[in-house]
Amino acid sequence: MSDYTELKRLAEHHLSLGQAYTVAKPSVLLALIAENERLSADCSSMRGSLKANAVSIKKLIKDGGRAARERDQLRAEIAGLKTGYEAYERVNAELKAEVDGLRKDSERLHSATAFVQKLCDYAGKQPCVATGYLHDILSAMGKGEQS
């Protein structure tokens, strides 16, 4: 910013003398100096605002980076949870299939036991060895043992 003190003093002095100038009147010169000073003040104010905005923008960029990292972390966690859930669903489906198979096996063994018992009853009304074996197998299955 330039110092217009001397220029102002001279312009005011010539204006007080009542001298007319054809190139630049002192009143015009003073008005231009006043406008220049006002614009300089506005410019300084705007510089301050720009600095404050720059600080705010830097903070927003920093916050945005932190939010992006958190978003990426959450996406990774969600992907892991989806993978775990899919594995759980596969194991659950396998276990259901196994339980269904065991139920069918149990039903077949019960049917076979009943059939053998009827054969034994028909053959002589004595305890049949095959019935005992089937009964042992069914008992073991009920206790969680494997035959």
- Give DSSP secondary structure letters for 32-73: HHHHHHHHHHHHHHHHHHHHHHHHHHHHHHHHHHHHHHHHHH
| Angle in degrees, CA 111, 124, 120, rounded to 5 | 15
pTM of the model: 0.43
Instruction: List the pLDDT tens digit at each of the 147 positions of the chain.
Output: 467 787 777 777 777 777 665 566 778 778 888 888 899 889 988 998 999 999 999 999 999 999 999 999 999 999 999 999 999 999 999 999 999 999 988 888 888 778 777 777 766 655 566 666 667 776 776 655 554
Residue tagged 């949870």 (tokens): 81
pLDDT for 147: 45
Q: How many CB atoms lie within 10 A of CB 137?
A: 17
pLDDT for 94: 96
